[in-house]
Each structure stands twice: as C-alpha cells, then as structure tokens.
Structure 1
C-alpha cells in the first residue's frame, strides 16, 4: 500500500497514512468532500453579488441593443475562460497531474515564478478591493432599510439622510466573527445560505421591476440608451462616453469569480475528475447568473428607462411594498456576509501559509486553543488567525468608509480584475499546457480574445476613475450622508 505524509494543518506535525485512506486524499491532505452542487453554490455566491443591482443602470447607458449584447459578451468570455482555467487545477495533465491548490500555484506551474508574482499582486489586491466593495454595498442596503422605514413614516418626499458609517462598522463586526471560519472547506453551509439569499433578492428585484414596467405613463428606455443633448434625461457627449465606460466595468464586476475558481475547485472530491465537476458547476453558475442578469437588467431598464438608479433596490425607484423591499435588502446583507468570506478566504490562506512556513516554531502562530461555548460546541481558536484576520477586516472597513461610492467602486474593481484574472492568465496557461502552436488558428483566436478584453478593461477603468473623481468633488470623508 502506498504511504504518504499527511500534514496536520493545526500544529504542523506530520503523520503517515494510506494514500487510499478514507480520511485523506492522494496528496495527504484531508479528503475533499465538495460536489458539483457545493461548487455551484460557491460560484453563484461569488458571481451573483452586488453587481446585479447596477445592471439596469448599465444597460441604460448603452440602450436596448448594445446593453444585452454586452451582457452576453461578458457571460461568454467568463464561461469560456473558466473552462480553460478548470483544466489548470492539475499540471501538467488536467486529470492526473499534480494539484495546484490556488490560482497563484496554477500560474507558477504553467507560466513560471515571474508571472506568479504578477498574478499574486493582481489577484489579492482584487480580492481585497472586492471585500471593500461588498462592505460599501452591504452598508448601502442597511441604510436603504432605515430610509425605507423613514419614508414609510414621514412620506416619500422626506429627506431621510443617513450616514453609512455605523452600518459599515456593524458589517465589519460580523465579518470579524465569520472570518474565524478556518478555510473554504468548512464554509460550504455559508455559501449555500448566501446563494439562496442572492437568488431571493434578485427574484424580488425582478418581480418589482416587472410590476413597474407594466405601469403606464413612463419611458421604457430607448435603442441607444441615455441621449446626448439638452433634454431632461440627456447628458453631454463626454459624460455619455464616461458612463458607458463605467457601465462596462460594472458588468465585468458582475461576472468576476475567476480569481477564486481554483480555490473552489480545490474543495471538490475525486472521482469524478475535478475539472469535469468544476466545468459542470461553472455551467450551472454562469447560466443561472446570466439568466438573472439579463432579466433583471432588462426589466429594470424597462421599469425606469433612462432614469434607472445605480442600485436597483436602494435607489428608491421602488417605495412599496416597503416591507418586501426591506426584506430584499436584508437578503443582500446576508448574502454579502457570505460573499465577503468567499473572496477573502484565499487571502487568509496564502498569508497564513507563508507566515506558518516563515516561523514554524512560533506557538502564537501555530497553537490552537479549544473553547467550549454554549450553542456552538467546541470552537478551535488560533490567536494569530484572530489578530491577522481582524486587522484585514478593519482595513477593508476603513477604506470603504473613505470611498463609499457604489457604482464607481464596483466598476473600478471589475475593470481591474477582468482582463488579467478572467482572460489573460487562463488563456496563457491553457496555451502553455496544451502546447498550442504560435500562429495557429486557435492561438490567433485566443490572442484576439485577450486583446479585446484588455481594451475593455482599460476603458472601463478610465470611466470608473472619472466617476470617482466627480464623486469626490461633493464628498466629505466620514461626514457625507445619503
């Protein structure tokens, strides 16, 4: 019987076990138990996030033709490159090769150390920025609940201005608690809850949009979206261009999950082969989200026309039934609690792995303390994990309080991560792994896809930076109310 060394991740010790043990996988790590359904839940939790709420606004910038086409473009690119990335979980062979536990490991195995460090910088800053964006979005939904109750009590025309800051702090406190979940493998239940919440608020937004779209007396949008001119709904030519660019970033953000695909795939059991399971999970996740994105974006645009709010459920295009809108925003908050963790766990893992190897004998870093708590049972607490993850949450919360601009932050994050993480690295790794000949038809097609995606990322980033610049003209840190 083949023997392997299994590493005890809690104290760093090693012990011998059978490669075919029921407890351990072929690499000596605890046996993975994830399935197509848990992986799909992770994907849906990661993809259907706050980005769905800005899609009506995004389509309003481009109109009935360009808007849906752009959504389909991003869906196709994300799905196609995710299939390429799923084959990179094992190297050099996608079925029998050595496991790559993280996105960064896959890049190193296929493209070398230099590209690995470029990937690490891009991936982890993008994940950190996504955590900032989710903090902004969650607080916006909590403020929306408070404002909705205020409008219900005082009338729809009441100012009801409320600061985001206390709600960002509240969200941060919850994240400090949930961040103590040790790793991806033990948070499948949180992803399932978050996925249910995302489908719930998306369905509510869709239903409210359909109801409003059938009301008489308002515009249902136009072929070209927001016009250029001097009408009440028109904007200048420069503003139109910047907003279209920003809309591209918002849609890119709505589809961003490639940066954690390998980490999700590392939770999946074998057999069947992990890449086959992940490809099915990706198909379920992307097709489900595209259906919701297309319907919510288009219905939202039909409901509000060129006046579509930047956030469908917090822009107060809907006032009643206020309890249903409040419930939808509560679902957003619960979903983002889980989504924040899905995007933060890869950062937690890489930092803790590096620190653990750097100081292998530190009791502060490696020792785990068992605590018996009522209702929760035995909890395993690590002091280093508590301090480091708390510090991480504090930085994201503070940055969110400094830049609480929903649409612009969402667009910038989407633009920053789309080309390198969703397109460039998966394409480059696939070409290397499959030994695709330069200037062959497939090689040329993949290079064109990468180039077009790069241009999209550049213009989307420019539009979002312009939006942040305009917002800062009217914003006072920690004091502005919404």
Structure 2
C-alpha cells in the first residue's frame, strides 16, 4: 500500500483532540513540568568536563565564570520568553519556532543566520555525542581490565568499533518517523543523566574525604609546572567553551518536537504550557528554578571534582579514570552515559532530519522518491510508513557524523567548540536583538548601550573560547594516531 501523507506511526483510531485557541492540540503544561524539563534537559554530558575546566581557570575565575554564564543565560532566557508571542508578549500571536520568532521580530538574513546556528549546532552535537558515547563504552572495558591487572596495568582499547556500533544503532533509530512520541526514552535519558552526574559527584566527595587529593590553586594550573604559558592561555579559553556547552540553554528553551505539522521543527518548550497564566511569566519562573538548580549541580560537580583531582583533573573524570574503584560503579556510570546519549542523539538529530526532508518535499513535490511512502507493520511499533528518501538520507547523515567523530575523537576540544559556537548567537544575540525590537528600546539610550555591550562582550568571550578549542583540537590532531588503541 502506498501513500503520500506525512510520516506517522499509527495505532488504532485517531482520538478526538481538544484544541487550543489557535486550533492546535490543547496545552496542559505547568510551572512544575516546565521546570522539570529544563533541569533534566540541561544536566548532561557537559558536567563531566567541569572539573577540568575549573583546573584550567582556578577557583576564582572558574567559579565566577560559571556563575556569570548562569546569570547571563537566565537573563536572556527571560527576554526570549517574552518574544514567544508577537508583537505583544501576553496577547500577541504565538510563534511556534525559534526561527519563526526571529522572522517576526528581525526578519531578513537574520532568519537564515539563526537557522545556520541552530542546525549547525545540532550537527555538532551529533558528532560530540558519538565521541562521548564511544569513549564511555571503551571505559567500561578498561575499568574491568584495571580491576584485574591493577591501576598500572596495560589496558588498551580502540574506540572505533564502539563508534561504528553506536552509528549502527542510530541508523536504526533514525528510521522511526515519529521518534518524539517515544516519550519513555526521554524519561530514561533524564534518569541516566542524573545517575552518572550524581555518581561522579559522589566519587569526588569520597576522594576528598579520603584525603588523597590533588594540588589546587586560586588561578588553576601553574605555568612552568603543569602547563606552558601558551597552553595556559588556550586551555583557559577552551575551558570557557566547555562551560558554555554546559549551559546550552537555548536547546531546552525550545522544544524539539514534531506535532501534527511534520515540519514544525523548533517549538518553544513553553509551547506545552497552558495559556493561563501567561506563558512568558510561567516560563520565567521555571527558568529561574531550572538555572538555579543546574548551577548548584554544576558547582558541586566542578568544584568537588577540582578539589579531588587538583590541577591534574582529567578531561572527563568518569572516562579518563580519575576514579578506578569501585570498578562496577564506574561501569554503571559509563553505561548510563552511553544509554543517555543513544536517546539524546535522536533528540538533536530528528529536527535536522525533518528540516532537510521538508525543504526537499517543497522543492520537488512531484518526486515520488522523495514523497512516496509505503505502509508496513513493525512489531511493537504498529503501522509505519517507510519513505525511501528518508531511509537513504538519514543513513548517510549518521554515517557522515560517525566518520567525522572517528577523525576527531577529542572530547574536551569538541565540547568546547560546540559550546562556543552556539552560545553567542542562540543564547545572547538573537534574544537581546529581538527584545530591543519588541520593546523599541531607544537607540543610544543607556539601556540600548548596555544591551549592546552585553552582545559585544559575549561575542568576544565566545570567539576566544572557540579559538582556544580550535587550538586544542589542532594540538590533539598532531598527536593523534588514527586507528590505534587507546591506552
């Protein structure tokens, strides 16, 4: 049986839905659910690098920068919340996508720049997650090896088979058209992220309590002892990028969800919120709770991790063997990371899949290869519609991101680069620029100058963070020997 209707997974008769004032499905979200979404979405693999970041920056700069990122992120998120409706924040027309908001307030080429920043970030995260998942899987085998041979034992392993295996899993999962409806995967991912982050904090506390801790400094790594002068500068910039990655808040300010419109890609997280009280007010409160909670979690992870390992803090204290025992707990934590990233990969990849497919469908509406779908029944899933273009395109995407991950399997540098490139445009520039347009801030007034100063300062910080990450990436590539086992 062939059909050209939008992709879907069907199960039984369609239920009559209660719709909202704009004809869309009735929203039932509350302050509590919004806060929960923010907390569970933000706490992810980025926490694993915070101890290393503080080691590069030191107690003073590291803590101040982490808290400053939290304050800026919360402030710009409140501006973005007010832009959900236009032209008025309370009674205006709802905008369902980030690009739609940019189109409503800024228009022109800035819409394309917003799309480039968003989708470029999604591709980067796909690559980063492939790297992180494979490293975690390698760490499980090495933890068992060290337990048997001792901490100084020769335990080598290659992460390439694990990357290939992760890629094959993603090829299969990518073929599920309505992946967003498998909500239990999001619940599992949230549990996994809390589990491995909590285990990391717990092990760091145990290390500090034992008294066997590394040497720490107010300014972090010491020039001439731990690093050279140039390494100190570039690693400090890269550390800022790692912190920025941890606050990839724009990805949770928007809900990556496909509704009845197959190509409605980026919807605000608060698009699930009830219309009363006003969405922007509820989201501001939820953002405050979410950012505050995650910042406390980050401070615990970064500060206690730095206290435990000192200036020699590993890039990822769960996979770089900051801890060796209990080995079974290390295994469990790394398994949690891998399981979390299996689902998280799809959360970030699906919007890009649908964006490309939507564009192709609009450009070639009569092309059967792109638009024709074949119905088939899949056990435990139901009636599913298979599209050959979707199968081919998504498979190629996963293969390409896997190959890039194999070429650049460097956790800290990739995380820092992604964080630096995404933070300024999505978290700072567009929210501030849209706020200026919405409230008609007078040009060259004190408020206008203050807002543009924030934009300029954050741009400089993001640029330096990206530069430091690129330098770190180049240095890693020079030392890297492809297709060899990792000691």
Q: TM-score with structure 2 length normalisation? A: 0.89
Alpha-carbon separation, structure 2, partners of 1:374 and 1:394: 26
Contact kept? 1:25, 1:32, Cα under 8 Å = yes
From 382, 398, 406, give the equivalent of 2:411: 406
- Identify the residue that residue 265 of structure 1 maps to in structure 2: 268
Deviates more, 1:114-123 or 1:241-250: 114-123
Judged with a 3 Å threshold, the aligned counterparts in structure 2 of structure 1 residues 90 and 261 are, in CA distance, closer, same or farther, namely same
Shift in Å, 1:48: 1.8
Alpha-carbon separation, structure 2, partners of 1:178 and 1:281: 31
Shift in Å, 1:70: 0.8
Deviates more, 1:423-432 or 1:170-179: 170-179
Pair 1:194-2:186 in alignment: no
Query: Residues 413-452 of structure 1 correspond to what in structure 2 (within 5 A)?
Result: 413-452=418-457
- Identify the residue that residue 53 of structure 1 maps to in structure 2: 48
Deviates more, 1:50-59 or 1:259-268: 259-268
Shift in Å, 1:32: 5.0
Pair 1:392-2:387 in alignment: no
Contact kept? 1:228, 1:237, Cα under 8 Å = yes
Contact kept? 2:121, 2:422, Cα under 8 Å = yes
Contact kept? 1:92, 1:98, Cα under 8 Å = yes
Give CA-to-partner distance per residue, 1:1-37, whole Å, 9 cap, x none. xxxxxxx7449xxxxxxxxx83444444455555555
Pair 1:318-2:323 in alignment: yes
From 313, 332, 337, give the equivalent of 2:337: 332
Contact kept? 1:41, 1:191, Cα under 8 Å = no
Query: Residues 34-183 of structure 1 correspond to what in structure 2 (within 5 A)?
Result: 35-36=30-31, 39-182=34-177
- Identify the residue that residue 14 of structure 1 maps to in structure 2: none
For residue 371 of structure 1, give the secondary structure of its aligned residue in structure 2: strand
Cα RMSD of the aligned pairs, angstroms, is: 2.4
From 218, 221, 242, give the equivalent of 1:226: 221
Pair 1:374-2:366 in alignment: no
Contact kept? 2:130, 2:166, Cα under 8 Å = yes
Shift in Å, 1:323: 0.6
Alpha-carbon separation, structure 2, partners of 1:385 and 1:94: 38
- Identify the residue that residue 244 of structure 1 maps to in structure 2: 236
- Identify the residue that residue 257 of structure 2 maps to in structure 1: none
Judged with a 3 Å threshold, the aligned counterparts in structure 2 of structure 1 residues 206 and 304 are, in CA distance, closer, same or farther, namely same
Alpha-carbon separation, structure 2, partners of 1:290 and 1:184: 30
- Identify the residue that residue 289 of structure 1 maps to in structure 2: 294
Judged with a 3 Å threshold, the aligned counterparts in structure 2 of structure 1 residues 96 and 342 are, in CA distance, closer, same or farther, namely farther
For residue 53 of structure 2, give the secondary structure of its aligned residue in structure 1: helix
Contact kept? 2:34, 2:273, Cα under 8 Å = no
- Identify the residue that residue 479 of structure 2 maps to in structure 1: 474
Alpha-carbon separation, structure 2, partners of 1:264 and 1:282: 16
Shift in Å, 1:436: 1.4
Deviates more, 1:426-435 or 1:279-288: 279-288
Shift in Å, 1:122: 1.9
Alpha-carbon separation, structure 2, partners of 1:37 and 1:334: 26
Alpha-carbon separation, structure 2, partners of 1:362 and 1:98: 35
Judged with a 3 Å threshold, the aligned counterparts in structure 2 of structure 1 residues 175 and 281 are, in CA distance, closer, same or farther, namely farther
Pair 1:455-2:460 in alignment: yes
Give CA-to-partner distance per residue, 1:413-434, whole Å, 9 cap, x none. 1111111111011110111111
Contact kept? 1:41, 1:192, Cα under 8 Å = no
Q: TM-score with structure 1 length normalisation? A: 0.89
Shift in Å, 1:185: 4.9
Deviates more, 1:387-396 or 1:109-118: 387-396
Deviates more, 1:329-338 or 1:373-382: 373-382
Give CA-to-partner distance per residue, 1:45-77, whole Å, 9 cap, x none. 542222110000000111111111111011111
Give CA-to-partner distance per residue, 1:93-137, whole Å, 9 cap, x none. 233333333222221111112111111112211211111111111
Alpha-carbon separation, structure 2, partners of 1:291 and 1:363: 53
For residue 214 of structure 1, give the secondary structure of its aligned residue in structure 2: helix
- Identify the residue that residue 355 of structure 1 maps to in structure 2: 360
Q: Which consecutive unaligned segments of at least 5 residues does structure 1 have?
A: 1-7, 12-20
For residue 473 of structure 1, give the secondary structure of its aligned residue in structure 2: helix
Alpha-carbon separation, structure 1, partners of 2:87 and 2:387: 36
Give CA-to-partner distance per residue, 1:338-389, whole Å, 9 cap, x none. 2222222331232222222223344443444443333333334333333222
Alpha-carbon separation, structure 2, partners of 1:480 and 1:79: 42
